[in-house]
Structure 1
């Protein structure tokens, strides 16, 4: 069979050529109802063009994620679109920056969701943002976390809303943890954003530091996140002590 279990790792599968030759390891998971072939890693010495062609045939309709730039390039050369290029990062919580003092009237409040926050995030994620414009589905996913803990509940102590002097929501950090999509035990920043009217005040750093201290107080050993290439927040994460862990290049494989 072109796909078979990997006897060396019970959580991995093998993508194989039609003659049974192993080509790559990967892991199947569900992500918001989408089937994902994650961590696709070509085996040493295997033609990347062959891996790309076999993946298009046997993993059709799935989102393929790989840390291998060459495989992503081979898929793009074959006419597919690179949907996202990002870096997964981790903070081991050994040296957490001191909490940020906000300007008079600004504060961090309990996590939650309201129309003002939705409007602020829609403004923060414009069409030119590396992750694309904010979509109604993004709002639905966050509301589901608060309403039904789907797919995971918020890590309340590490999450917060940014409140302006009038008490209106102007941004937030939303964390969960531990999360099922990572191999290591860690909390995860699902979303950190500040409305344009609140930017330039150190609010992003305040939210990030809150998430770090909240994760530490929850007894989790690390905090993770994914940052897209070109996102200016990458500098903030680097300065706070996050370290790169792996590249994640995403390509949607067309169905048959």
Structure 2
């Protein structure tokens, strides 16, 4: 079978040729082939051909630039994976009068705030109904992973309405190291320019530490101005993450 479980670590799958030779290691999750890594000594062209056939229709994520070049497909996203090892935690950020952080969750006000934060033209694209469905599924059904409660928070404004959030999960299955992961951090128009994005990020860092995890990680898209926030908070680059869509035919 061209794609089979990795018997040494069932988190991973193996992309094999028709004779059973292992070509690459990856994580299959829903419609995404994550962390695709060619096996040592295997030409990337051979991996690319097998991936086009046996992973057709999936989103492929890899740090291997040569593999992406061999696939010959346009990039959907180029990002940098970053990690904070929690050795030097920033102090809790002071909030402006009337603003507060409360437990993570979801409501219509937050959906409106994130739609404003991720407006058309944002490097990560606009906020969509699919994004809302994915977040609510995490809180309602722990699907595909449950939120890490100590590291999550909603930002509430003086009017009592949600104006942003940070959403984290952990430990996550898609990294080679044990960590929590920032799935989303966003603030609406009324919350921007007040240091509230940093307050949410610091909450996530300190909450990850309180949960007993050794690191907090994330991926930031090229061109996203939030990269400056992560750099200043002490996150360090780990790897590039390149994403392409594999055609179905």
Q: Give the whole-Å Cα distance in 1 for the aligned partners of 2:103 and 2:19.
A: 57
- CA change 1:13–1:170 in 2 (3 A) is closer
Q: Distance in 1 between matches of 2:180 and 2:9?
A: 24
Unaligned runs of 5+ in 2: none
1:95 CA displacement: 0.3
Q: Does 1:94 align with 2:93?
A: no
Deviation at residue 47 of structure 1 after TM alignment: 4.2
Measured in 2, the distance between the counterparts of 1:115 and 1:5 equals 40
CA contact (8 A) 2:99 2:158 kept: yes
Matched, 1:38 2:24: no
- Distance in 2, matches of 1:230 and 1:203, equals 21
Which residue pairs with 1:217 in the alignment? Answer: 210
Contact in 1 for aligned 2:78/2:222 (Cα 8 Å): yes
Q: Work out whether residues 34 and 174 of structure 2, in 8 Å CA contact, stay in contact via their aligned partners in 1.
A: no
CA distance in 2, matches of 1:193, 1:238: 17
Shift of 1:208: 0.2
Shift of 1:3: 5.0
Normalising by structure 1, report the TM-score.
0.87
1:26–1:38 CA contact under 8 A, matched in 2: no
Q: Residue 194 of structure 2 aligns to a residue in which SS?
A: coil
- 2:170 aligned partner: 177
Decide whether aligned partners of structure 1 residues 220 and 15 sit closer, same or farther in structure 2, where only a CA change above 3 A counts.
closer
The answer as to 2:190 corresponding to 1:207 is no
Structure 1 residue 68 corresponds to structure 2 residue 67: no
1:231 aligns with 2:227: no
Instruction: Judge conservation of contact 1:91–1:241 (CA < 8 Å) in 2.
Output: yes
Q: Deviations over 1:183-237 (max 9, x none)?
A: 3221111110010221110000000001111111111111111111111111111
Residues 224 and 37 of structure 1: CA distance in aligned 2, closer, same or farther (over 3 Å): same
Partner of 1:29: 28
For residues 124-155 of structure 1, what are the alpha-carbon distances to aligned partners after superposition, in whole Å with 9 as ceiling and x for unaligned? 11121111111101111111122222222222
The aligned counterpart of 1:105 is 98
Q: Given that residues 24 and 47 in structure 2 are in contact (C-alpha distance below 8 angstroms), is that contact kept between their aligned partners in structure 1?
A: no
User: 1:73/1:217 Cα in 2 relative to 1: closer, same or farther (>3 Å)?
Assistant: same
Within the candidate set 231, 250, 254, 2:247 is matched to: 254
Q: Cα RMSD (Å) of the superposition?
A: 2.2
For residues 1-46 of structure 1, the C-alpha deviation after alignment (integer angstroms, 9 at most, x for no partner) is 6556778x55555545567765x4222321xx32x33222234565
CA distance in 2, matches of 1:29, 1:139: 22
The equivalences for 1:44-55 within 5 A come to 46-55=42-51
What is the rounded CA distance, in whole Å, between the counterparts of 1:142 and 1:59 in structure 2? 26
Structure 2 residue 158 is matched with structure 1 residue 159? no
Structure 2 length-normalised TM = 0.89
More off after superposition, 210-219 vs 174-183: 174-183
